[in-house]
Structure 1
Amino acid sequence: MDLGEFEADNSVSCRLASAIPDVCKTEDCCLGIDEAGRGPVLGPMVYGICFCPVAKKEDLKDLKVADSKTLTEAQREDLFRKLDEAKSFVGWALQILSPNTISTSMLQRSKYNLNALSHDAAIGLVQFALDSGVQLKEVFVDTVGPAEKYQEKLSQRFPGVEVTVRPKADSLFPIVSAASICAKVARDHSVKDWNFPEDLGEVDADYGSGYPNDPKTKAWLLKELDPVFGYPQFVRFSWSTTQTLLDSKAVTVHWDDDEEDGEKAAARQNNTSMLSYFKAGSKTSAQQSNTHQTHRFFTERRLQSLATL
């Protein structure tokens, strides 16, 4: 699987897709949706769809697709290769949600939780298939949240398409199993070959599965914690695992907001308020650049100083 487009900038989300089989544009099709990487604190979450003509369901069964969680990495790779080779009647598409996208979405002022993010990714992929000319008749989805509400939401969004939302759909419907395999293979590749844009030098790549309860992941998070800047964008800052480590191990930061007087709180503890770093000074930007070298944390993220808030 070629993830070059995502690897070129893994700070943002990316959509990858196969060619659309001609038969999918002329015959009624079924489509499955599943995700990989919902729980890990490291790496992206990947939503995948797979589709084929309803009349070709038995052909899909012959490929012996199964829930990706029940397969070894080698088995998933082999099945993805078979799915990709069956391009005369099988198509797929992926929405790779970067850790940075997940974190900034969940931590923004207007709350946007993981379920909403997942629903929108799934809806976007179904719409992509329709816009690409796929004649969708049936959609099968592994549930996120209450199955009945999710099914009603999708049915209203896509009238004329028969939607089925079921727990464990990846083990019930081969077309969902196929989507599960596509998503899992993409996530495995992205995590294994993660490109750290922060230019951290030699980074320990032995970070395990990325799940919070994995001992290797726990050890890696402790080792790579920067007391000031936290973690690279490979880590989901919106996870409680990350926030707990930052609260206990990193430098204390006082934020100014409407609920607490950060300036006074910082003064009481003989610290500097975070907002003070953003206040306009008497020096011009040119003067500041001559006397102060910007930390690479800001330059690597293309952040610039503002004269006013």
Structure 2
Amino acid sequence: MDLSGFEADNSVSCRLSSPVPEVCKTEDCCLGIDEAGRGPVLGPMVYGICFCPISKKEDMKNLKVADSKTLTEAQRDNLFLMLDGAKSFVGWALQILSPNTISTSMLQRAKYNLNALSHDAAIGLVQFALDCGVQVKEVFVDTVGPAEKYQDKLSKRFPGIEVTVRPKADSLFPIVSAASICAKVARDHAVKSWKFAENLGEVDTDYGSGYPGDPKTKSWLQKYLDPVFGYPQFVRFSWSTAQTLLDSKAVPVHWDDDEEDGAKGAARQNNTSMLSYLSRNKPDELTHSRDTHRFFTERKLQSISNL
């Protein structure tokens, strides 16, 4: 799977897709939706769709696709090659949500939780297929949140399309199993070949499954926690696992906000305000010369004197 479009800048989300088979533009089609990597604290979450003509459902079943979680990595890779090779009647598309996108979305002022992010990714992929000319008439989805509410939401968003939302849909409908395989293969490859934008030297890539309960993942998180700048963008810093480690092991910082004047809040905690650290008019104790930290240069951040 070619992920160069995402690897070019893995700090933002990316959409990848196969060519649309001509038959999918002329015949009624079914479309499956599933995701991979919802729970891990490391790496992206990937939403995938797979579609084919309704008349080709048996052909899809004959590819012997199955829920990606029941397959080995080698089996998933082989099945994806089969799906990608069936270009005459099968198409797919992916929405890769970077860890940075997930965390900044969840922590923005207007709360945007993981369910809403997932729903929007799924809706965006269905709309993408429609915009590409796919004659979608049936949609099968693995549920996120209450199945009935999700089904009603999708049915209203796409009138005229029969929507079926079921728990464990990836084990019930081959077209969802196919989407599950596409999503899982993409996530596995993205994690395995992750390019760290941060200058971390030789990075230990033995980070386990990426799930919070994995001892290898916990060990990796402790090893690569910077006490001032936190984690590389490979980590979903909005996850409670990462937050707990930051709270216990990182340098305490008071952020200015609307609820309390920053300087007063910092003084109360016997701490230095973050904005005073960044401002050009620094306190006397911070006026000595220093090079700009890579955290700011990598993100193209600059100091400002006023808003």
Structure 1 length as normaliser, TM-score? 0.95
User: How far off is 1:267 after superposition?
Assistant: 1.5
Aligned: 1:94 with 2:94: yes
Aligned: 1:161 with 2:167: no
Conserved? CA contact 2:29–2:51, under 8 Å: yes
Conserved? CA contact 1:31–1:52, under 8 Å: yes
C-alpha distance in structure 2 between counterparts of 1:44 and 1:65, whole Å = 23
Alignment correspondent of 1:299: 297
Aligned: 1:119 with 2:107: no
Moved more, 199-208 or 179-188: 199-208
Alignment correspondent of 2:132: 132
Conserved? CA contact 2:280–2:303, under 8 Å: no
Alignment correspondent of 1:233: 233
- For residues 166-216 of structure 1, the C-alpha deviation after alignment (integer angstroms, 9 at most, x for no partner) is 000000000000000000000000001100011211111110110000010
User: How far off is 1:280 after superposition?
Assistant: 4.6
C-alpha distance in structure 2 between counterparts of 1:108 and 1:306, whole Å = 21
Alignment correspondent of 1:222: 222
Conserved? CA contact 1:280–1:308, under 8 Å: no
Identity between Structure 1 and Structure 2 (%) = 84
C-alpha distance in structure 1 between counterparts of 2:240 and 2:260, whole Å = 22
Alignment correspondent of 1:285: none
Moved more, 290-299 or 111-120: 290-299
SS of the equivalent of 1:35 reads strand
C-alpha distance in structure 2 between counterparts of 1:208 and 1:272, whole Å = 37
Residue-pair matches, total: 304
Mind listing any 5+ residue stretches in structure 1 that lack a counterpart? 283-287
Conserved? CA contact 2:141–2:165, under 8 Å: yes
SS of the equivalent of 2:187 reads helix
- For residues 24-48 of structure 1, the C-alpha deviation after alignment (integer angstroms, 9 at most, x for no partner) is 0000000000000000000000000
C-alpha distance in structure 1 between counterparts of 2:216 and 2:196, whole Å = 19
User: How far off is 1:83 after superposition?
Assistant: 0.2
Alignment correspondent of 1:72: 72
* TM alignment of 1:196-207, pairs within 5 A: 196-207=196-207
Conserved? CA contact 1:80–1:182, under 8 Å: yes
Conserved? CA contact 2:15–2:93, under 8 Å: yes
Mind listing any 5+ residue stretches in structure 2 that lack a counterpart? none
SS of the equivalent of 1:64 reads coil
* TM alignment of 1:131-280, pairs within 5 A: 131-280=131-280
CA RMSD of aligned residues (A): 1.6
SS of the equivalent of 2:302 reads coil
C-alpha distance in structure 2 between counterparts of 1:244 and 1:17, whole Å = 37
Deviant stretches of 4+, over 3 Å: none
User: How far off is 1:303 after superposition?
Assistant: 1.2
SS of the equivalent of 2:89 reads coil
